[in-house]
Amino acid sequence: MNGLMMDYPLTLQHMLWRVERLFDKKEIVTKREDTLHRYTYADLSGRVAQVGNVLRRLGVKPGDRVATLCWNNYRHLELYYAVPCMGGVLHTLNLRLFPDQLEFTVGDAGDSVVFVDKTLLPILDKIAGRMPSVRQIVVLNDGGPLPPHKLGELLDYETLIAAEKAECSWPAVEERAAAAMCYTSGTTGNPKGVVYSHRSQFLHAMCVLQKDSLGMSESDVLLPVVPMFHANSWGIPYAAGLAGTKLIFPDRFMGDGQVLLDLAEQEGATMLAGVPTIWLNLLGALEKSGRRLPKVHTVICGGSAIPRSLMEGMDRVGLRMLHAWGMTETSPIGTVALVRSWIPPEEAFNARLKQGVPVPGVEIRIADITTGEELPWNGEAFGEIQCRGPWIASGYQNDADPTKITEDGWFRTGDVATIDPDGYVTIVDRTKDVIKSGGEWISTVELEGAVMAHPKVLEAAVIGLHHSRWQERPVAYVVPMPEYKGQVTAEEIREFLAGKVATWWLPDEIRFIDEIPKTSTLKFDKKALRNTAEPIAEDAVPSPVQGGSARE
């Protein structure tokens, strides 16, 4: 017996209805080199219709992949709406991938059209002639001549739009139809394509607006510094359309704290969103200038864990960070570090530093890394986070890496975490990095944090290497601060760690290097470290005394 409720499809066309009917006055502002581009949701609505007509004229058919290689700007937003509402699939190319990876993602997705910011033509040019599926390339250009390139004939976005009506008859779209694609950054092997549906995007946006999620509102002014080509842009473009939030796009000027400060201040931002590095830059600009952003009530932070010192610094300048966790495969919102009402005030700061509690719509569990058995939420046991829900991936484009889905249908995130009795997730490692020593687990992330707290240390990465007795033992690669280069000793660091971590967690070796190798998305490339590492000199180090709990 079914309910007698409408079979209203959950598609992004609903957002378009709201953009057009309810928020015509609201603004969208984009930073340009020396000026600001400024228009309204009414303008957005009209231009989205024009882009829809352009896509139809270019021969884009339902299910066709349409790629973008763009920064955060209003034209990218137009494509975020026009492509899926026309039945196409928006594939946001990650401009930070290496050329071979970029070529792979275009081919793997089978992109038929590419829309590219003029400033990013040189990146696309690196794979000129290596995109056999691509029929047309359209340049988003603020004016002026194009740089030299080998990409053949290019179409001009504004010229195409100018020829079209500002009304579009959108096709009927089913809610499970593909809406967008985003590739993982591929720290191991090729990037993998995640394919979002209209339904998943709709539901994710419904979650983002919740007070106990990101809490976006019509009354907010949001400056999204998270790149629109990363992890589904955190769902912000569609959540904004649903809520009517004013948006401030930084275009390519994301790395400069001063620029972000000016933008946020001039346009009255109330919410900011980005990764920790961005907020380090902003914090620097605030502290240097003495300026403040009193209108900002929330700084959404994801992508990697928030360093304690960063959140302390942001608290000092009156900016409240909201830590969220997720990944490309989770659309991305999975958990948000709310302070539950029963948390005592003195523990609130620590709660905010955790990855947080699952949002409505997402179920999580932790599973033993070896056996897959579900582990208790006691804040001690740690295992792989697995999750399920209507905006969690059930697989990848072209069936890449089917091992990421468990037999009972949960997504294996690869993140290793504890969950405490209050439901707070705390990530301690990645499954491929965590070390198993004598049957017990050692968190490389915790160990790195402890080493990096040493005042003479700039960066540290810990990997596990083979050991004849303990199976694996930790080895730390340490980059000293420039002023202490050659003046830090392994003994000094080992002494510093004593009492801060369990004795048997102490690294067998501490190896000083000039730089930690990094991936295209600037994460530590531990795979590269492991591939080139010297074996442990087992005679040279004392055997650890190991026993008891892994987290004694």
- Catalytic sites, residue numbers: 184, 329, 436, 441
Smallest Cα–Cα separation from 120: which of 103, 101, 96?
Answer: 96
Q: Does 273 participate in binding its own copies (rule CB under 8 A)?
A: no
CB nearer its own copies, residue 22 or residue 490: 22
Tell me the closest approach of the beta carbon of residue 228 to its own copies, in angstroms. 19
Yes or no: say if 45 and 16 are a contact pair by the CB < 8 Å rule.
yes
Q: How many CA atoms lie within 13 A of 265 on its CB side?
A: 12
How far is it, in rounded angstroms, from Cα 334 to Cα 278? 21
Give yes or no for a cis peptide into 332 (omega within 30° of 0): yes
CB atoms within 10 A of CB 260: 27
Pair type for strands 457-467 and 440-442: unpaired
Q: Does 150 participate in binding its own copies (rule CB under 8 A)?
A: no
How far is it, in rounded angstroms, from Cα 183 to Cα 101? 10
Residues 322-351, one symbol each (x = binds its own copies by CB under 8 A, - = not), give ---------x------x-xxx---------
Which of 129-137, 161-169, 213-221, 276-284 is the region at the interface with its own copies (rule: CB under 8 A)?
A: 213-221
Residues 73-92, one symbol each (x = binds its own copies by CB under 8 A, - = not), give ----------------x---
Tell me the closest approach of the beta carbon of residue 375 to its own copies, in angstroms. 13
CB atoms within 10 A of CB 136: 17
Pair type for strands 383-388 and 411-419: antiparallel
Q: Does 381 participate in binding its own copies (rule CB under 8 A)?
A: no
Q: Does 411 participate in binding its own copies (rule CB under 8 A)?
A: yes
Q: Does 203 participate in binding its own copies (rule CB under 8 A)?
A: yes
CB nearer its own copies, residue 223 or residue 510: 223
Which of 93, 113, 206, 324 binds its own copies (CB under 8 A)? It is 206
Which of 215-223, 250-258, 293-301, 467-475 is the region at the interface with its own copies (rule: CB under 8 A)?
A: 215-223
Which of 42-50, 117-125, 395-403, 432-440 is the region at the interface with its own copies (rule: CB under 8 A)?
A: 395-403
Q: Does 375 participate in binding its own copies (rule CB under 8 A)?
A: no
Tell me the closest approach of the beta carbon of residue 501 to its own copies, in angstroms. 30
Which of 34, 143, 148, 211 binds its own copies (CB under 8 A)? It is 211
Tell me the closest approach of the beta carbon of residue 361 to its own copies, in angstroms. 7
Residues with Cβ within 8 Å of 9's Cβ and at least 6 positions away in sequence, in order, are 173, 174, 175, 198, 199
Q: Does 5 participate in binding its own copies (rule CB under 8 A)?
A: yes
CB nearer its own copies, residue 248 or residue 478: 248
CB nearer its own copies, residue 420 or residue 459: 420
DSSP H helices, 453-544, are 490-497, 526-532
Yes or no: say if 109 and 155 are a contact pair by the CB < 8 Å rule.
no
Yes or no: say if 384 and 193 are a contact pair by the CB < 8 Å rule.
no
Q: Does 47 participate in binding its own copies (rule CB under 8 A)?
A: no
Residues 8-27, one symbol each (x = binds its own copies by CB under 8 A, - = not), give x-x---x--xx--xx--xx-
Structure tokens at 183: 């590739």
* Residues from 233 through 272 that contact its own copies (CB under 8 A): 242-244
Q: Does 377 participate in binding its own copies (rule CB under 8 A)?
A: yes
* Residues from 88 through 117 that contact its own copies (CB under 8 A): 89
Q: For residue 219, which phi and psi values (nearest 5 degrees)?
A: -80, -5
Tell me the closest approach of the beta carbon of residue 431 to its own copies, in angstroms. 20
Q: For residue 361, which phi and psi values (nearest 5 degrees)?
A: 110, -15
SS3 readout for 249-303: ECECCCCCHHHHHHHHHHHCCCEEEECHHHHHHHHHHHHHHCCCCCCCCEEEECC
Q: Does 216 participate in binding its own copies (rule CB under 8 A)?
A: yes
Which of 100, 167, 212, 315 binds its own copies (CB under 8 A)? It is 212
Tell me the closest approach of the beta carbon of residue 540 to its own copies, in angstroms. 48
Which of 49-57, 389-397, 436-444, 544-552 is the region at the interface with its own copies (rule: CB under 8 A)?
A: 389-397
Q: Does 199 participate in binding its own copies (rule CB under 8 A)?
A: yes
* Residues from 164 through 183 that contact its own copies (CB under 8 A): 176-179
Instruction: Give the SS3 label for residue 480.
Output: strand
Which of 101-109, 303-311, 356-364, 469-477 is the region at the interface with its own copies (rule: CB under 8 A)?
A: 356-364
CB atoms within 10 A of CB 454: 20
Smallest Cα–Cα separation from 406: which of 387, 391, 389?
Answer: 387
Handedness of CA 431, 434, 436, 440 (dihedral sign): negative
CB atoms within 10 A of CB 17: 12
Q: Does 194 participate in binding its own copies (rule CB under 8 A)?
A: yes
Q: Does 217 participate in binding its own copies (rule CB under 8 A)?
A: yes
N-term to C-term CA, the chain: 54
CB nearer its own copies, residue 182 or residue 442: 182
Smallest Cα–Cα separation from 279: which of 323, 238, 235?
Answer: 323
